[in-house]
Amino acid sequence: MTAPAALRESALPLPLLRRGKVREVYELGPSELLLVASDRVSAFDIVMQEAVPLKGAVLTQVSAFWFRRLASVAPSHFITADAGEIVARHPALAPHREVLRGRATLVRRTTPVAFECVVRGYLSGSAWQEYARSGTLAGEALPPGLVESDRLDPPLFSPATKAESGHDVNVTFEQMAEALGRPLAEELRRLSFAIYTAGRDHAAQHGIIIADTKFEFGHAADGTLLLIDEVMTPDSSRFWPADRFAPGRSQPSFDKQPLRDYLADLRRAGRWNGEAPPPPLPDEVVRATSTRYLEAYHLLTGAALEVAP
């Protein structure tokens, strides 16, 4: 079987609001945005040259799955991820239907809240690093004696400021409440816990640990608070294979482990310094990564992935 073509970058004839590491954000009239997930992949914060077939479709359709499933838990920006429906609403996009298929999401435009709402159900990443150093998270004490990847019950709400470049900075709930006002901060925390808990429980029944995840929220023009951006995807979360979970060490990544292993080997061998430009990736690493993304999608949703023919 030949692998489906991968898309490194979309170029639609619309005003481009932003090009992220993975997605392009286009303006679509005054009140809508079009989010297009490319097949770009990053590791160690560096975007690879190669694109990973199916990845953009997986990201888009995992988010769409959660937006639909959790609609009663949190109202969201989601309008549709169906290319036919997008084109029906915006006929000028008809010539680009195949680029949109499976990877584009039409959403309500909002004014984003300037904090990332991170929920941590397991101690990993920057939270583990700070804890290992000082027993704290964003300066606040956590219980003593935790080891790397320990399950946190109840989960922690761990907001972060959005840094334009470099790493986001973890802050306390109090710092967030001071900046946003307590009622909004409390509502963001309540929604974040509700979404994460529902997602974690669903994923756990299907062999995936969602160790932590980042939500974004925004205010629509009428003032409604909406869940925006992407939701509980492998890119906005840590997905771990449940059958290999063992606290006391870092966990393999469900999706990016083939890529990480390859790059880590190169670094150990002194053949890559960890900085841009990234090394070229062998086909089998790209293929293995693609397979992992697709597997995560199937496990989580139980549905067939919609891809361009």
Q: Is 75 in the site for ligand ATP (CB under 6 A)?
A: no
Q: Is 109 in the site for ligand ATP (CB under 6 A)?
A: yes
- Residue 182 contacts ligand ATP per CB under 6 A: no
Q: Using DSSP bridges, classify how beta strands 78-80 and 104-108 pair: parallel, antiparallel or unpaired.
A: antiparallel
Query: 92 vs 79, 86, 88, 96, 151, CA distance in Å?
Result: 18, 10, 9, 9, 49
Task: Candidates 93, 99, 107, 117: give the one binding ligand ATP (CB under 6 A).
Answer: 107
Shortest reach from residue 123's CB to ligand ATP, in Å: 22
Q: How far is the CB of 249 from ligand ATP (least distance, A)?
A: 26
Q: Strand locations in 63-114, DSSP E?
A: 78-80, 104-108, 111-112
**Residues 76, 74: Cα–Cα separation, whole Å:** 6
Quote the tokens at residue 298.
């199937």
Q: How far apart are CA 196 and CA 213, in angstroms?
A: 8
Is residue 50 part of the contact set for ligand ATP (CB under 6 A)? no
Residue written as tokens 């303006």?
Answer: 27
Cα–Cα distance between 10 and 12 in angstroms, integer?
A: 6
**Which position among 218, 241, 258, 278 is part of the footprint of ligand ATP (CB under 6 A)?**
218
Which whole-number Å values give the CA distances from 104 to 5, 47, 157, in the listed order? 16, 20, 30
Separation between Cα atoms, residue 4 and residue 217, nearest integer Å: 34
Figure out which of the listed residues 10, 14, 23, 240 binds ligand ATP, where binding follows CB under 6 A.
23
Whole-number minimum distance, CB 42 to ligand ATP, in Å? 6
Lookup result for tokens 């393999």: 252
234 counts as binding ligand ATP under rule CB under 6 A: no
Report the length, in residues, of the chain.
Answer: 309
- Give whichever of 52 and 228 is closer to ligand ATP, judged by the CB atom: 228
Integer-rounded Cα Rg, in Å, for the chain is 19
- Rounded to the nearest whole angstrom, what is the least distance from the CB of residue 136 to ligand ATP in the complex? 26
* Minimum distance of ligand ATP from residue 220's CB (angstroms): 8
CB of 132 to ligand ATP, least distance (A): 25
Contact call for residue 228 and ligand ATP (CB under 6 A): yes
For ligand ATP, which residue of 39, 50, 212, 216 counts as binding (CB under 6 A)? 216
CB 263 within 8 A of CB 269: no
Binding residue for ligand ATP (CB under 6 A) from 39, 50, 229, 255? 229
CB 199, min distance to ligand ATP, A = 18
Q: Is 33 in the site for ligand ATP (CB under 6 A)?
A: yes
Judged by the rule CB under 6 A, the positions of this chain that interact with ligand ATP are: 18, 20-23, 25, 33, 77, 107-110, 112, 216, 218, 228-229
